[in-house]
Structure 1
């Protein structure tokens, strides 16, 4: 039932009575809604107040008086129960008693009609003084709008206030930003609240007003696309809320949402919340972009003032020195603390560019610059389906960046790039969850689960599957029936679209279908009952899937909210997983080797060439699926391991110490990212052992080096004339600005139990970084062990490596030596660790 919004306890005749009747008709007949109704209500109110001022006597002594609308009324944003923010402005030339009489003639009719009033009476000098002392007053006066009286007096006020606002922007804008941050801490984030405050929460009307104030400072302007529409959505909802409740409230309470939805002609309360969330995200993202630009501009101004001070004046200074553009990835650079597109980038011809730019931004903890986002969105070039390998790797890298994934994802979301990449995402975007345990909308919960999962990637052998399962586990919400069942079907389609092979698609589908299995069983079933363990084992199917499901369950609970996870739940879950693992087998599956791209005949030919020359043989060619293949390339790759990215590099060299770290170091010096690698020993024709190293590499940016250049540097490294460790350290130090260290989980080095009868298997799971494999290789060499074979995989930004090592007797290492080797590798990978001494001959 619509509440009457205009009490008429006072006189219903004359100007006030006519205004009350017109106001009531406007608000209850529904002939106008939205911005037209707010504008009409403001016009009605303007005319009424002007009549009140003009109908009575003015001060006896000559004086200038003006009635000014400020704040929300000044902006014309009058909702049914909005306060009237009014300033009676005068020049100070009349006695205060006479000005007070004028004020009484204005304020009492407003009170008589039961309309809330926020009023003040000030001289021009007092208005300026109050604005200088009180930021909130200054903000309200920035929207000053003349209603009646001396228009020149109002114009003088506005001109002076705007001039002061612009001259003091360096201090006022940081204060304004701090107010917004404090408000967000108190009221939360509007896009994720079940009972949001439309005005005070982050992304609400206060933030939209703050963006107007920033624009008035001439320091920066907010992204305009969709901003006015978003603000009008929140205002429309507030209008309906006032009419439904009959109260001046900004809180969209649960009990009012169905009525508000009906008043707006929406399907249901969920549709209403989704519309509110979409609008709030637009305002939140615009705020993030705007405040980032404010910070950049104010820092630049401060730097210019500092330069002028250093040289004793501004003579000769034309402009600040250009910011360095530091390359981050192919087509992507950093400039002024943001990720921008390189001058050579071609968004219209590079469908992987949005994912590459997003992954680089998240990994370096930097924001995506708005022009770059707009350029990639405008290009509208689509990825082929299934995605190419590089796109999948960049996507996994983005998901694995931890908390820095969130703002980058939001930038892609704001430009419509997420739903362009993953059309099924639209179903969960901004979808509310009416569950007190959940703190996020469905889509944000999925991203938060991936963030939580990124901290658990060292616990699993397939971090890529964990991260993608985390993003997709609730993808079935919003469809009829059990969301786990619906999600399994959707996850199969999305995983195939992303480019996973059939076996991996099955694993991802199982993880999505069973993502509640472990926690529900652990907390609701008798774990001592063999049938319980048998049922879970049958549903999971394998030890590797169990390992992934355990990590996914924990990440899901942590991303849900504080009530969903506890030490008690963790212990029950661990107990169940231990029992199921014992039934399934030996726990985690060993790391699978990377697929081979060269035939045995090719390997033997290259090994013989190395023996004949006594020097390294290096070849470089496009990998399968990346370009032309030679005549003896494998016709097909039956492995379900994700196909690596880039080109194939093959190195054959007579066996000697230091080969692995030398080759890895040379690749790092040439800015080649190792996507996969395999090392093995061959003895062609009994002429002596040869190390065969097969790599899949990709250039971080720029073109690939020539094979002969790599070979020459490898020879120098083995001879000792090329100090790789020093060169890598010098290159890192050469950056003018220090690089941010990614907040990644620490490396995990373990001995794989039962991994091999002939060797000790050392597994290393770490954050991929330039020189990582070089550091591992140096630690292995320093320990004096023999590397029989190695299998290296880079899945997104996670390195998952296995090294099969023996002692000098060609036997597996004793347990104490293996434990010591684990400690040595961990020490070599610790941040800031000095390089191990080389043992190359």
Structure 2
């Protein structure tokens, strides 16, 4: 018996190849059989009951056995029976969540402990007095229903707290399948609502999503060898996908995201209806429901959007969008009856769309954040894909990197919601909102998502009923939706060539303004690191300069040296140290300008970037100027995670100056120190194997631009700058961009003699030097 129980811990190979429901059934059989042997037949007045996950028949490797030994209060051998049950389980190492109680004691504890109450709702008799077990179940459920007005808000608070602590199953790289929003616990909460007779049992679609998560959790626990964690780790996803029959880990991630969204949406709409009923006591209210007109064929009833009596989805193709727009304007959900009827009866949208349908879509998007909930409602019953068939290619499609926090379709919804805040700053708010909704639609197709998006929107725009000139603007927005962030963060915005290229690509002030608003909304919807005051200022300055070109003004071009730079380069007569380091705060939160003035010498910029890396300062932009044998280096930096400084605390100029001098005279081995920090990066998990470093030459600027793309590592900028210096190039400006776990750095360089970098052989030599410097020690 004890050997069989050991299989529950996941430390044997007995169930290799058994997955999903078959695995859960096998584990239940093992546990039930062992407990029956231990329990025997102690007679009437006592029962062994499984509760919680074991009660539902859903154990996984390493799960605790949740057991209640219930008795009638008249047995004098309860302690002995309990000991004969618990000790053999403990000896084997099986985890127990156990209690010994009378029915009255169990009911009383459940009244005061929500988790106990929820566990008892799933009570299942293993052995013993059936009448006793049935009585406990009936008493618990009766009290649960009677206490619904008090207990259900407590349940909703528990669901909300789990969401705050664990995030969303649908949008996390490594979701907790049990505790996160849209996870297994949320389905348990839905069944608890049903047990209170205030909601229906979860639908088959929700139960299918639940089973998918249960299957994945079973394999998570198998790989963990029974350790009690339920996170779907990146490192395990290929193995789990193969075990469960998915083609690859991305398909598994897609299924997980879809399941999480189905469950979380169902909880939201169900709890909204239940909460409204609890507030208004609608289950006992008499009289006809009050309806408030919202739009043609659309009304509000009991805090939900419903169809008016005269509404006919079979004759009105725009009704779906009017319902969604009305729900978003009123910031209330679409009622399930209305959704189900629309899903059954709504007509396909004619092509091209009627103007009223397009206007309703724009009205919906213009509501901002409430539009996300309305679009989710349409999506969950298949109406959004019916309106825009291309949506099926991005629906619940994961973006598995730390940079994006949402699936592709949810990112598009969130971008459109964010763009609504800028509709008064552009002259075509309708095109801004449509562009925001569709800018990444190409991610559902193979190849470059921008190229695919241009093709998709080129076909879709006329079907939406847009005139050719508006369709051209929408396609241009999709083609250049990355123009401003890429140009501002990966090119020198002081270079006239950069400004002219942006103005030429956008083509008009209208499109440039639309791209400006789209860029901010897109970045804010991407993730917390994708938008910052620094990025906002760079893009704003770039747009202002590009707009000047449209007005026929001269492209703003800063002088070779500003008055301040000349002052810094001129060493004062009374200066006793020819190395000067200043630290100046920038208007962007937590950022500083580092100014270094030193004798001009090869390797100065590389040494400076290395010292900044050792100080855990993240360089965003660096430039170098020289005159009269002296060099001026300026770098915009931000404090990185792990710094010993307090947030917002400026780095010490004296320490930076001392470290720089020691780096240049050879007493501080920057490379060795940086190599010692490599281990800190080694534990960072990636969604996929990183692409090899790449070196690209760009001749569109006034100097040669060497763009280097590589996985982020400790001191990666130092390695790049030093390699360019070793290759005989002077770095004039370095533009640093970090995208998730990768960097895309652009270096404006010239040859030592002052010329551009030309010739295939010379460029191959430079690229080889850089790639050699970026090769990690383990690589051949």
SS, match of residue 148 in structure 1 = strand
Structure having the higher Rg: 1
Q: Is the 1:543–1:585 contact (alpha carbons within 8 Å) kept by the matching residues of 2?
A: no
| Partners of 2:55 and 2:128 in 1: CA distance | 16
Pick from 296, 312, 323: which aligns with 1:357?
323
C-alpha displacement at 1:22, in angstroms?
10
SS, match of residue 155 in structure 2 = helix
SS, match of residue 218 in structure 1 = coil
Q: Is the 1:245–1:256 contact (alpha carbons within 8 Å) kept by the matching residues of 2?
A: no
C-alpha displacement at 1:278, in angstroms?
0.9
C-alpha displacement at 1:427, in angstroms?
1.3
Alignment deviations for residues 719-750 of structure 1 (CA, whole Å, 9 cap, x no partner): xxxxxxxxxxxxxxxxxxxxxxxxxxxxxxxx
Alignment deviations for residues 5-28 of structure 1 (CA, whole Å, 9 cap, x no partner): xxxxxxxxxx33456579989974
Q: Is the 1:70–1:143 contact (alpha carbons within 8 Å) kept by the matching residues of 2?
A: yes
Pick from 262, 273, 278: which aligns with 1:293?
273
SS, match of residue 563 in structure 1 = coil
Provide the residue aligned with 1:252 in structure 2: 232
Give the alignment of 1:101-180 within 5 angstroms.
101-180=80-159
Pick from 216, 222, 227: which aligns with 1:237?
216
| Partners of 1:245 and 1:24 in 2: CA distance | 8
C-alpha displacement at 1:75, in angstroms?
0.7
C-alpha displacement at 1:526, in angstroms?
1.9
Pick from 31, 46, 66: which aligns with 1:65?
46
Give the alignment of 1:547-626 within 5 angstroms.
547-585=513-551
| Partners of 2:356 and 2:279 in 1: CA distance | 37
C-alpha displacement at 1:586, in angstroms?
8.1
Establish whether residue 41 from structure 1 lines up as the match of residue 41 from structure 2: no
C-alpha displacement at 1:296, in angstroms?
2.5
Provide the residue aligned with 2:192 in structure 1: 213
C-alpha displacement at 1:399, in angstroms?
1.0
Establish whether residue 78 from structure 1 lines up as the match of residue 59 from structure 2: yes
Give the alignment of 1:339-350 within 5 angstroms.
339-350=305-316
Q: Is the 2:351–2:464 contact (alpha carbons within 8 Å) kept by the matching residues of 1?
A: yes
| Partners of 2:50 and 2:400 in 1: CA distance | 40
| Partners of 2:517 and 2:8 in 1: CA distance | 63
Structure 1 residue runs of 5 or longer lacking an equivalent are 1-14, 305-318, 588-841
Q: Is the 1:223–1:290 contact (alpha carbons within 8 Å) kept by the matching residues of 2?
A: no
| Partners of 2:64 and 2:422 in 1: CA distance | 51
Q: Is the 1:222–1:290 contact (alpha carbons within 8 Å) kept by the matching residues of 2?
A: no
Alignment deviations for residues 734-779 of structure 1 (CA, whole Å, 9 cap, x no partner): xxxxxxxxxxxxxxxxxxxxxxxxxxxxxxxxxxxxxxxxxxxxxx
C-alpha displacement at 1:289, in angstroms?
1.9
Structure 2 residue runs of 5 or longer lacking an equivalent are 554-780
| Partners of 2:315 and 2:224 in 1: CA distance | 54
> How many residues are treated as equivalent by the alignment?
552
| Partners of 1:441 and 1:220 in 2: CA distance | 29
C-alpha displacement at 1:406, in angstroms?
1.1
Q: Is the 1:23–1:41 contact (alpha carbons within 8 Å) kept by the matching residues of 2?
A: no
Pick from 487, 510, 513: which aligns with 1:521?
487
C-alpha displacement at 1:329, in angstroms?
1.0
Establish whether residue 536 from structure 1 lines up as the match of residue 502 from structure 2: yes
C-alpha displacement at 1:506, in angstroms?
1.1
Provide the residue aligned with 2:716 in structure 1: none
Establish whether residue 196 from structure 1 lines up as the match of residue 175 from structure 2: yes
Provide the residue aligned with 2:338 in structure 1: 372
Q: Is the 1:23–1:44 contact (alpha carbons within 8 Å) kept by the matching residues of 2?
A: no
Q: Is the 2:484–2:519 contact (alpha carbons within 8 Å) kept by the matching residues of 1?
A: yes
Q: Is the 2:506–2:512 contact (alpha carbons within 8 Å) kept by the matching residues of 1?
A: yes
Give the alignment of 1:382-781 within 5 angstroms.
382-585=348-551
Distance change >3 Å, CA 407–CA 129, structure 1 → 2: same
Pick from 336, 339, 343: which aligns with 2:302?
336
Alignment deviations for residues 225-273 of structure 1 (CA, whole Å, 9 cap, x no partner): 4011111001000011111221332111222212211211212222111
Q: Is the 1:454–1:467 contact (alpha carbons within 8 Å) kept by the matching residues of 2?
A: yes
C-alpha displacement at 1:523, in angstroms?
1.8
Distance change >3 Å, CA 486–CA 282, structure 1 → 2: same
Q: Is the 2:111–2:117 contact (alpha carbons within 8 Å) kept by the matching residues of 1?
A: yes
| Partners of 2:492 and 2:197 in 1: CA distance | 66
Q: Is the 1:333–1:341 contact (alpha carbons within 8 Å) kept by the matching residues of 2?
A: yes
Distance change >3 Å, CA 113–CA 359, structure 1 → 2: same
Distance change >3 Å, CA 22–CA 436, structure 1 → 2: closer
Distance change >3 Å, CA 25–CA 32, structure 1 → 2: farther
CA RMSD in angstroms, aligned pairs only: 2.1
C-alpha displacement at 1:222, in angstroms?
4.7
- 490-499 vs 220-229, which moves further: 220-229
- 22-31 vs 287-296, which moves further: 22-31
SS, match of residue 109 in structure 1 = helix
Q: Is the 1:63–1:94 contact (alpha carbons within 8 Å) kept by the matching residues of 2?
A: no
Provide the residue aligned with 2:565 in structure 1: none
| Partners of 1:178 and 1:25 in 2: CA distance | 37
Distance change >3 Å, CA 18–CA 575, structure 1 → 2: closer
| Partners of 1:21 and 1:141 in 2: CA distance | 26
Q: Hey, which bits of structure 1, 4+ residues long, moved more than 6 A?
A: 21-27
Distance change >3 Å, CA 138–CA 129, structure 1 → 2: same
Q: Is the 2:509–2:550 contact (alpha carbons within 8 Å) kept by the matching residues of 1?
A: yes
| Partners of 2:550 and 2:7 in 1: CA distance | 78
C-alpha displacement at 1:455, in angstroms?
0.3
Alignment deviations for residues 324-363 of structure 1 (CA, whole Å, 9 cap, x no partner): 2111111111111110001111112211111111111111
Provide the residue aligned with 1:16 in structure 2: 2
Q: Is the 2:144–2:196 contact (alpha carbons within 8 Å) kept by the matching residues of 1?
A: yes
Distance change >3 Å, CA 389–CA 520, structure 1 → 2: same
Pick from 75, 83, 93: which aligns with 2:74?
93
Provide the residue aligned with 1:279 in structure 2: 259
C-alpha displacement at 1:524, in angstroms?
2.1
Distance change >3 Å, CA 262–CA 120, structure 1 → 2: same
C-alpha displacement at 1:48, in angstroms?
2.1
Distance change >3 Å, CA 479–CA 303, structure 1 → 2: closer
TM-score (ref. length: structure 2): 0.68
Q: Is the 2:61–2:218 contact (alpha carbons within 8 Å) kept by the matching residues of 1?
A: yes
C-alpha displacement at 1:203, in angstroms?
0.8
Q: Is the 1:338–1:368 contact (alpha carbons within 8 Å) kept by the matching residues of 2?
A: yes
Distance change >3 Å, CA 201–CA 340, structure 1 → 2: same
C-alpha displacement at 1:555, in angstroms?
0.9
SS, match of residue 281 in structure 2 = helix
Alignment deviations for residues 437-479 of structure 1 (CA, whole Å, 9 cap, x no partner): 2211111111100011000000000000000110111111143
Distance change >3 Å, CA 114–CA 586, structure 1 → 2: farther
Q: Is the 1:327–1:334 contact (alpha carbons within 8 Å) kept by the matching residues of 2?
A: yes
| Partners of 1:300 and 1:43 in 2: CA distance | 46
Distance change >3 Å, CA 199–CA 28, structure 1 → 2: same
SS, match of residue 68 in structure 1 = strand
C-alpha displacement at 1:65, in angstroms?
1.3
Provide the residue aligned with 1:652 in structure 2: none
Alignment deviations for residues 610-646 of structure 1 (CA, whole Å, 9 cap, x no partner): xxxxxxxxxxxxxxxxxxxxxxxxxxxxxxxxxxxxx
| Partners of 1:31 and 1:530 in 2: CA distance | 63
Q: Is the 1:222–1:289 contact (alpha carbons within 8 Å) kept by the matching residues of 2?
A: no
Provide the residue aligned with 1:732 in structure 2: none
| Partners of 1:17 and 1:498 in 2: CA distance | 66
Alignment deviations for residues 297-326 of structure 1 (CA, whole Å, 9 cap, x no partner): 22232896xxxxxxxxxxxxxx52333211
| Partners of 1:526 and 1:48 in 2: CA distance | 71
C-alpha displacement at 1:123, in angstroms?
2.0
